[in-house]
Structure 1
Amino acid sequence: MPSIYEKLSIRPVPYDPAFEIEEENEKETAEGIVAEMRRIIEITEKDYGRGVRTVHAKAHGILTGRLDVLPGLPKELAQGAFAEPKSYPAVLRFSTNPGDILDDAVSVPRGLAMKIVGVEGERLPGSEGDVTQDFVTANGPAFVAPTAAAFLQSLKLLSRTTDTPQALKKGLSAVLRGVGAAVEAAGGDATPLKALGGHPATHILGETFFSQAPLLFGPYMGKIRIAPVTERLKALKDQPVQVAGRPDALREEVAKIFSEGGGEWELSVQLLTDPETMPIEDASVVWPEDKSPYVPVARIVVGRQTSWGEKRTERLDEELAFAPWHGLAAHRPLGSVMRVRKPAYEMSSTERRRFNGCPMHEPASAAEIDAPKAEERAA
C-alpha cells in the first residue's frame, strides 16, 4: 500500500527574511500588550490571592502521554522536533482563553498547549539549556486579529472586562451563543462573537486545534494542527455539554472521558507553498488547504488517567509554563502577532512565579514530569 507521502506533491517555499516585515511602531505595540496583560494579572491576583496566567488561566485537564514522530517522513517534513522517528514524553493542557477563571457557562474559545520533552537542537532565545518544545494551539484555523496592532486593540477590550461580574458575563454569553448560531446558520462567520463569549457549549475534547499563526518548520514555514483520531474522541465533536449549574463542566467531562480510557490525536503540518494566499504577516488568514493540505507528522498517545483533581495535576498546572517561543530555533514563531507574544508570555510567567513564590520548572525527562513532591507522597 503506497504511503501518503508518496503522493505528496506540494513544493514548500523556503524561508526568506523578506517574508517578515516589522509593523510600524511594533516595539510600542509589544509594550502595550505587556501593559494590558499586566493589568489583567494585577486584577486576578487581588481577586484570587494567587497568580494565574494572563491568558488561558483556567485549565480543564492536564494529561501526560507521549508524542510519536511518524516513520518515513519526506525531508520537507522531517524537520526540527520531527527530524527522526522517536517518542517524546508529552504534557497536554486544555484550557479556555480568558485571563480570569470563569464559570463554564461563559463559553469562550478553547486552547491546547503541549510540551514535549527530550528535544535536542539549537534553541530559541530564552530557552537555552532546556530540552523541551512547546506548541500552543487554539480551536480555530486562524488568529482573531490580523496584526499585532489589532491584537492590542482586542486585548484592551478583554482587559477592561476582566473584573466584570460573572453573572453579567454568563448572561451575555448566552445571548452571544444564540446570535452566533444564527449567524453561522445563515452562512456567516461567527468568530468575533465566539471570542467575546459566544462559543457553543460543546465538549472540549471534540475540538481540533491550530497554531493559527505560522512558525518555521526547518528551512520552510508552516502551521500546526492537532486533531483527535480515536473514535471515542471524534464522536465528541460538537457534542453539547450542559453548563448551567456546572461551573467546572468541562473539567468534569474531560475527567470522565479519561477515567474510562485513553485517546489519540494526530499532529499535522501545513507547509507554506504560496506567499500570496498564505501570508506570514496576516495571522487572520486561513491558509487554503487546496494549495497545501495538512499532512501528519506525529501521533499523540494518552492513556487512562486522572485529568484533574489530584495534587499531580495541580502541581503540573502550577509549575509549567507554555509559550510559542519556548523550543527549537527550527520552530521559531513568525509574524508580528507571534513576535509581540514573546515579551507578553515572559512577563506572565515571571509575574506568576514572583507572586506565588513557585519556580517554573522545565522537565528534562518523563521521570521529572511524574516525580511527586513530598506532600504528594504523603497524601
Structure 2
Amino acid sequence: MRYSTESGDPGIDDRISQPRGLGMKVFNVQGEMFDAGKDYPTQDIEFNSTPALELADTKTTKEIFDIRIKYGGDKKELYKQLEARDDTELQKSVRFYSQIAYRFGGYVVKYSLAPTGETQKKLYEKTVKPDSDRTTFSVQFCENLEKRPVEYAGKPWDDEKYPWQTVAKLVVPQQDSHIFTRKTFWEDHMVLNPWHGLKTFQPVSSPNRPRRVVHPASASLRHKHWKERDQHLEHRRNTR
C-alpha cells in the first residue's frame, strides 16, 4: 500500500484540505484476468479520502483537467475558476473510498477501507504506537440505480440507508515505510491500474472507462523516463 497526495507537490502542507489517495496491490491473485494485467497475478485497488469523485464523469473530467492545466500555476485564478462552477464544493473538498462503482461477483458495489484497531480508537488519548493493527474492507451494494447512480460518480451513496458491510479484514504489520529500496521499488516499478485484476472485480461507470487507456499511457511514459534516467546514470558512472 502507498499513500499519496493528488497534486503531487511535496511543498504542500499536509494540513491543507485536498484529496488523499491510497493505492493497494494484492499479489498472487488467482482467476480470470483482464488483458491489461493477465501477465501479472495482481489485483490493483485504489482509494480516495472522499466518498464522491470530483471528476464525476467523462465530461467533467475534461473540463476540470483543462482548468488545472491552464491555471495550475496560479492558485488564485484556479480557485476562481473552480468557484464559478456549480460543483465547486465537490471540486475543493478533502475512511478511504473507491468513489467509483465496481463489480463484486454478481453485484455492483462501492468499497471503503476503515481502521478499526484499538490504536485508532484511542488516537486522541495517547501517542500512536507502531503496533500491528487491523483495517476493515467494506462494500456498499447497489440496490437502486436512481438513488445510487453508477455512471455519475459525483454523488455519494447514502450510508445510513445503505450501510457499509464488512467483507474482509486487512492486517498491516509494523514496518519502516521510508526504506530507500522499498520506496524506489514502488515509485520506479509499481504501476496501479484498476483494470489490472479479476474480471469479477470489473471497474464500471463513466470515470472508469477512460482509465483503461489513460493508465497504460501514463505507465508507458513513466517507464520511458525511468529508462532514460537509468541510461544517463549508467553513462555517468562509466565516464568517471
| TM-score bucket (shorter structure) | 0.7 to 0.9
Partner of 2:196: 326
- State the match for 1:104 in structure 2: 12
Unmatched 5+ residue regions in structure 1? 1-91, 177-188, 200-207, 238-255, 359-379
Spell out the pairing of 1:151-170 with structure 2 (5 A cutoff): 151-162=61-72, 164=73, 169=75
Q: 1:355 aligns with which of 222, 225, 228?
A: 225
Name the CA distance, whole Å, in 1 between partners of 2:68 and 2:128: 32
Deviation track 1:68-120 (CA, whole Å, cap 9, x = no partner) reads xxxxxxxxxxxxxxxxxxxxxxxx1100112x433132732101111111111
Equivalent of 1:224, from 104, 107, 111?
Answer: 111
- Report if the CA contact (8 A) 2:103-2:203 is conserved: yes
Aligned 8 A contact 2:71 2:77 in 1: no
Corresponding residue to 1:126 among 33, 36, 59: 36
Q: Structure 2: how far apart are the matches of 1:354 and 1:342? A: 19
Whether the 8 Å CA contact 2:188–2:226 is kept in 1: the answer is no
Equivalent AA in structure 2 for residue 121 of structure 1 = G
Identical residues among aligned pairs (%)? 27
CA contact (8 A) 1:111 1:138 kept: yes
Q: How does the TM-score come out when normalised to structure 2?
A: 0.81
Letter in 2 for 1:306: D
CA shift digits 1:110-139 (9 cap, x unpaired):
011111111111111311132100111101
Mapped to 2, the partners of 1:154 and 1:120 lie a distance apart of 37
Give deviations 1:252-279, integer Å, cap 9, x for gaps: xxxx967x33332110011111111111
The aligned runs of 1:1-379 (5 Å cut-off) are: 92-98=1-7, 100-105=8-13, 107=16, 108-162=18-72, 164=73, 169=75, 190-194=89-93, 199=94, 208-234=95-121, 260-357=130-227
> Cα distance, 1:312 vs. partner?
2.0
TM-score (norm 1): 0.53
User: For the residues of structure 1 that align with 2:187 and 2:132, how far apart are their CA atoms?
Assistant: 20
How far off is 1:297 after superposition? 0.9
- In structure 1, what is the equivalent of residue 233 of structure 2? none
1:206-237 per-position Cα deviation (integer Å, ceiling 9, x unaligned): xx111101011111100110011113235559
Contact 2:90/2:154, CA 8 A, preserved across alignment: no
Corresponding residue for 1:4? Answer: none
**In angstroms, what is the RMSD of aligned CA positions?**
2.8
Shift of 1:309: 4.4
Answer yes or no: is the 8 Å Cα contact 1:230–1:264 preserved in 2.
yes
Change (3 A) 1:335 1:306: same
